[in-house]
Structure 1
Amino acid sequence: MNDFMNTEIFNGTTIGDIISVEWLAGIAGNVLAAILILIVTLIVAGWAKRRVIGVGERHEHLDDTLFSFLGNITYYAILVFGLVFILNRFGVQTASIIAVIGAMGLAVGLALQGTLSNFAAGVMIIAFRPFKLGDFVVIGGEMGTVKDIAIFTTELATTDNVKIVMPNAEIWGAPITNYSVYPTRRLDLTFGVSYDTDLKKAEEAIRDVIGRDDRIHQEPEPLVKVANLGDSSVDFEVRVWCDSADYLTLKFDLTRAAKEAFDAGGIDIPFPTRTLVQAAE
């Protein structure tokens, strides 16, 4: 065999020399093709990522976080396809590699079921946006302001400034109460007066308090009605509308103002009482 490879065929050139040159040329061609495929793949992946992210940036109603994540997924998916083409160029059987990757992905998926459920819930939260940064919400039994929305977790800050990090799966699978969606809210208050109080006078005192506060909207019209005859008091139901940002402070201020108005008008706020009747012996 060696004698055959060393056989001179033209001006000192042997068959072995020709085979070596052809082999090296083939390797060089494959390397150049791989480099070209890699360059094209990087260009296409970068372009596709920018296009996906740009969709979120051009439309205000779409969440930038979601499209940034989708852009990264698109980028790496194209890189994987480019790698498959490069391996095929060198004669590597990629079918078996893809099968191994698939099996590994299945095993990882089974091991990370909780994490993947948080991931899926995070995508749903970012896509459908039941709340956004800065909203005041009650989710999963926790109340606070939304500070961060990530793929796996959501961060809240409670009213006393305690950080709470919640898994997204627990959020998406539970009722979500968002107090920040609508610009206005209705404030409901109940004021009790004694049974011997002039109800008209009490109602006028309440309406006077409402009328002096500019934070209260006149449309819809404030409601002041007797709603209940309790065990020891006649209860007025008060319903007013205000800006959502004013809700809490308005509640505190109206409660105090009503108490001061009742005191000034001689209107009693009764304490619960019990009458004991002793039978005669």
Structure 2
Amino acid sequence: MDQEQITETINHVMELATAYGLQVVGAIIILILGWIAAGWARNAADKGLSKVRGMDETLRYFLSTLVRYLVLAVTIVMVLERFGVQTASLIAVLGAAGLAIGLALQGTLSNLAAGVMLLFFRPFKIGDFVDAAGISGTVKLISLFTTEMATPDNVKIIVPNKQLWDTSIKNFSANATRRVDFLLGIGYGDDIDKAFKVIKEIIENDERCHKEPESQIVVGNLGDSSVDIIVRVWCKADDYWGLKFDLTKAFKQTFDKEGIEIPFPQRVVHMVKEGANDA
């Protein structure tokens, strides 16, 4: 290789280094600025979402992180454009790949979407006792994919979020007060007014029973074996089970003391003698 060819080669390399060097420097600058912008966008989104009333911390973290990745994705596209890459074709390929991945992970993505909806609309929160998807328990943890619950006998259950979102949810802890219902049967020979008085005294002597709304004591049905009295008492949601158990015991003990019968189911059978029937 003669001196002229060497000089020409060096000049060509210098031209390529200058041209692509500027592109590389520009790409690095775009990456740095994009990285900074992504962090700024995440912090701004996190700060803005923190002002939303009732916004769950897990959902806030997920959305703010999603904003960061979106900014980074735009940054990468801009860097590729610096090197002459046809980003339109690349985006189309990535879209097709994303669609394929989405179909393969359809169940997982459904749980993710349901988790976002649960965290955003908050039909229940940690510590609530709920009945949903045929499962009753206390909510221990709400994540983006699953919800962890504990049954009354403290069995841990992990439920996919889609299963919860697609069904009706009974939240027993959502309201501050609840109504305790009783069905008490007394004998047909007992004094109904006396039974009413005894029940009312028991309720008034328990401070957990609310004065407002007023308790309700009514005759609900004339049964086959008893006069059925319906009792409805309002209390704090946290006092529900304790009050129900204590009042049930108090009703039985006081009825026994006052001579009010709680009858067993019974049937009256009339025997007809054959001889009398013939006569």
- TM bin, normalised by shorter chain, reads over 0.9
Q: Of 204, 214, 219, which aligns to 2:197?
A: 204
Q: Which whole-Å CA distance do the structure 1 matches of 2:271 and 2:24 have between them?
A: 108
Q: Which whole-Å CA distance do the structure 1 matches of 2:251 and 2:43 have between them?
A: 59
How many Å apart are 1:104 and its aligned residue? 0.9
Q: Which whole-Å CA distance do the structure 2 matches of 1:255 and 1:217 have between them?
A: 17
Give the count of matched residue pairs.
274
Q: Of 109, 122, 128, which aligns to 2:102?
A: 109
Q: Of 234, 246, 268, which aligns to 1:253?
A: 246
Q: Tell me the TM-score normalized by structure 1.
A: 0.93
Task: Encode CA deviations 1:218-238: one digit per residue, 9 max, x unaligned.
Answer: 001111111111111111110
Task: Name the aligned partner's letter for residue 189 of structure 1.
Answer: F
Q: Which whole-Å CA distance do the structure 2 matches of 1:55 and 1:90 have between them?
A: 36
Q: Which whole-Å CA distance do the structure 1 matches of 2:162 and 2:4 have between them?
A: 68
How many Å apart are 1:82 and its aligned residue? 0.9
The residue number in structure 2 matching 1:229 is 222
Whether the 8 Å contact between 1:53 and 1:64 is mirrored in structure 2 is no
Q: Which whole-Å CA distance do the structure 2 matches of 1:233 and 1:169 have between them?
A: 47
Q: Tell me the TM-score normalized by structure 2.
A: 0.93
Unaligned runs of 5+ in 2: 275-279
Residues 28, 262 of structure 1: CA spacing in aligned structure 2 closer, same or farther, 3 A cutoff? same
Q: Which whole-Å CA distance do the structure 1 matches of 2:100 and 2:54 have between them?
A: 37
How many Å apart are 1:215 and its aligned residue? 0.3
Q: Which whole-Å CA distance do the structure 1 matches of 2:215 and 2:183 have between them?
A: 13
The residue number in structure 1 matching 2:208 is 215
Task: Name the aligned partner's letter for residue 112 of structure 2.
Answer: F
Does 1:162 pair with 2:161?
A: no
Does 1:73 pair with 2:55?
A: no
Unaligned runs of 5+ in 1: 8-13
Q: Of 123, 134, 137, which aligns to 1:130?
A: 123
Task: Encode CA deviations 1:187-215: one digit per residue, 9 max, x unaligned.
Answer: 11111111100111111110110010000
Task: Name the aligned partner's letter for residue 274 of structure 1.
Answer: R
The residue number in structure 1 matching 2:83 is 90
**Identity level (%):** 50
Task: Name the aligned partner's letter for residue 103 of structure 1.
Answer: A
**RMSD (CA atoms):** 1.6
